[in-house]
Structure 1
Amino acid sequence: MKLATPAPLSRDTLLAWLFLAPALILLSVFVLYPIAYLGYLSFTSGSFTRAGVHWVGLKNYSRLFTDPEFWQVVGNTIYFTVATVIPSLVIPLALAALLDRTVALRAFLRTAYFIPSITSLVAVGLGFRWLFQTDGVVNALLARLGITPLAWLGDPTWAMPVLILFSIWKQLGFNLVVFLAGLQTIPTSRYEAAALDGANAWQQFRYITLPGLRPTLVFATITTVIFTLRSFEQPYVMTGGGPLNSTNLLVFYIYNQAFAQFDLGYAAAATTLLLGITLMLVYVQLRLTQEES
C-alpha cells in the first residue's frame, strides 16, 4: 500500500510562516520557555548557586498544601481580589453611564479619572502610606471631627481595606474609559425606541446597556482580576505584608520566598499554582460569556 505524500506548501503559506516567525520566536523565548522552566523549577530544590538545584518531585506542592502561612496568604488574596474587583467594575460602570449622558466637561472628566491609571504604583503607594500613617492627613481630619485616630496600616483590621481602597482608585480610570468606549458602540436608536415604548432609565440600562456591554464587561473583568491577582506594589510599599501577615498577598509571598528566603523551587510551585488559578478564571469567564451569547 502506497502512502500518500503530503502536498507541498503553497507560496502564500510559506510567506505566512515567514512573517509569523519573528513573533513566534519572541513568544517562545519570552513566554513559552519561561513557563516551561517555571514548571521544571517547581519540582526542584536549591538556588542559583554553585551547589545548583536538585529534583524533589512533588515535595514543594505537598509543602504548599500543608503550610498554614500559605493558606493565610491565599485567604488574604481571595479577600483582596473579591473586595477590589466588584467595586472596580460597578463604580466605573455607573460613572461611565453618567458621563455618556453628559456632554459638558466629558473630555476633562474622562482625563481626570484616567490619570490614576498612568501614575506609578510605587509613587501612589507612597502617597497613600503618607495619607494613612498615624500622624497623616486622614487621622488629622478624623481628629478635627472628634473621632479617635486609627493606626490604619498598623492594625490587622484596617490595613487590608486601605490596600483595597488604593487598588480600586488605581483601576477606576482604566475601566471607566473602557466602559465609555463600549457605550459608544450601542446605537442610540435602541434607547429612543425604548423611550417611545415607555421604558424608564433603569429599564433601558438593564435591557439595553448591560446586554450591549457584555463583551466589554468580560474584558474589564478579566483585566481587573489579573491586575488584582498580580498585586505586588501595594503590600511592598505600604505594609510589607503586615501587620501579622494580614496584607501578605500571593505575589508578595512568592517574592519573599524567592528573593528573601532563596527557596526558588517552593516559589516556583506557588507561581505555577497562581498561573493555573488565573488561567482557570479566564477560561470560566470566557465560557460563561459564550453560553450567554
Structure 2
Amino acid sequence: MTATLSERQAAKGPRRHPTVPARATAGQRRYRRRTALTASGFLAPFVLLTLLFQYIPLFVLARDSVHEYTLFNPDAAEFVGAKNFVRIFSDPDTLQSFGVTAVFMVAFLVIVVPLGLLLAVYLNGKLPARGIVRTVVFLPVVTSSVVVATMWTFMLAQTGLVNGVLGGTGLEPVAFLTDKNTALIAIVLMCVWQQVGLAAVLFLGGLQAIPAEVQEASEIDGAGPLQRLWHITVPMVSRTTVLVVVMMTVFALQAFAPAFIMTTGGPEGSTNFIMYHIYRTAFFLQEPGFASAISIVVLVFALLVSLVQMRLLKTKWNY
C-alpha cells in the first residue's frame, strides 16, 4: 500500500532549513579593515604613478590635440576642434612619416620574427656554454638605444669602421647614412641586431613549453628537422608568435633614437619616423597641438594593428 505524504515526511525526519551565516564579529571586521588598508598601502604608489605618468598625460594630450598654441606662449591656446586631426591627412610631411614608419615596421617584422625563431631553435639545442651564448644574444636588448645608435653611427659613418675596412680592400666607401636608398636599410639592420635577442628569448620560452613526447613521436615517425620545424614547432609556438609580433610592432612604432642620432630624419625624409616627426613638430616647429593630434592617431593605429595581428594570428593550439 502506498505511503501517504505525511508518513513519508515523518520517515525523512524534521525538515531542515538552510543555515544563515552568522554576522561577522567585531574582530573579523577589524581584520578585514586591516587587510584592506595594508593592500591599499601597497597598491597606492603604483596607482599614483600610473595616474601621474599615464592617465593624466593622456588627458593632457587629448586636451592639447584640440588646441593651437606655441610652447613660448601656452596661455594663448586657441580652441580649434578637429582642425589638427583633419590636417594630418593633408600634411605631406606627416603622410610621408607614416609611410616611412609603415615600411620600416614591415621590413623589421619580416626579418626579426623568423630570425628570432631560428635563433631560438638553435639555442634550444644541446650546445656547450648555452648560458653564455644566450647572454651574448640578449645583451643588445638591455643596452640603451642611444648607446646602440651611437655605436652604429660610428661604424657606418662616411669615415667609420665599415668604410675603413672597405677602403683597406680597395673598395669605394658607401654612404650608409647619407644616401636615401641605404639609410633606412641601415637602421632596419641595426634595430634587428638590437631586438632579435628579445624575440629569440621569447621564442625559447615557447619552445621549452612544447611537450617532449610530441617531438619524440615525430622523430619516430621519420620526420626530418625541417618537417618538425614547419609542422610541429611553428604551429605550437603560435601563441608566442602573437606576443613577439605585437611587441616588435610596438617597438617599431616607438622607434626614435635611430632617426634622432643616426640620420636626423634624413636624407630627404627617408628615415623620418613618426615619433621623430612628432618631436620635431612639437619642439622645432612649435606646433604642440598638432603633434598631440598625431600622437593620438598613432596610439589608435597601434591599438588597431595589435588587435588585427592578434586576430590573424589567433591559434587553436592549447598545450
**Normalised TM-score (structure 1):** 0.90
1:49-128 → structure 2 map (5 Å cutoff): 49=73, 51-128=75-152
Q: Deviations for 1:263-287, whole angstroms, at most 9, x for unmatched residues?
A: 1110001101110111111111222
The question of 1:40 aligning with 2:40 is answered no
What value does the CA root-mean-square deviation take over the aligned residues? Answer: 2.2
1:243 pairs with one of 253, 261, 267: 267
1:263 pairs with one of 269, 280, 287: 287
Distance 1:43 1:116, change over 3 A: same
2:193 pairs with one of 158, 169, 178: 169
Q: Deviations for 1:185-219, whole angstroms, at most 9, x for unmatched residues?
A: 11111110111111111121122211221121111
Distance 1:133 1:263, change over 3 A: same
- C-alpha separation in 2, matches of 1:59 and 1:186: 52
Deviation at residue 168 of structure 1 after TM alignment: 0.5
Q: Percent identity?
A: 33
Distance 1:50 1:28, change over 3 A: closer
Contact 2:239 2:315 (8 Å CA) reproduced: no
Q: Deviations for 1:214-261, whole angstroms, at most 9, x for unmatched residues?
A: 121111111111111100000111111111111110000000111112
Q: Which has the larger radius of gyration?
A: 2
The question of 1:197 aligning with 2:197 is answered no
Contact 2:100 2:273 (8 Å CA) reproduced: yes
- C-alpha separation in 2, matches of 1:208 and 1:187: 11
2:307 pairs with one of 276, 283, 290: 283
The question of 1:148 aligning with 2:163 is answered no
Secondary structure in 2 matching 1:46: strand
Corresponding letter in the other structure for 1:239: T
Corresponding letter in the other structure for 1:30: F
Structure 2 unaligned regions, length at least 5: 1-28
- C-alpha separation in 1, matches of 2:44 and 2:142: 33
Q: Residue 50 of structure 2 aligns with which residue?
A: 27
Deviation at residue 74 of structure 1 after TM alignment: 1.1
Corresponding letter in the other structure for 1:175: A
Mean alpha-carbon deviation: is it higher for 34-43 or for 259-268? 34-43
Structure whose residues are more often helix by fraction: 1
Q: Deviations for 1:143-171, whole angstroms, at most 9, x for unmatched residues?
A: 33433211211111111111111111110
Corresponding letter in the other structure for 2:208: Q
- C-alpha separation in 2, matches of 1:222 and 1:29: 26
Number of matched residues?
Answer: 284
Q: Deviations for 1:116-145, whole angstroms, at most 9, x for unmatched residues?
A: 111121112111111111111211222334
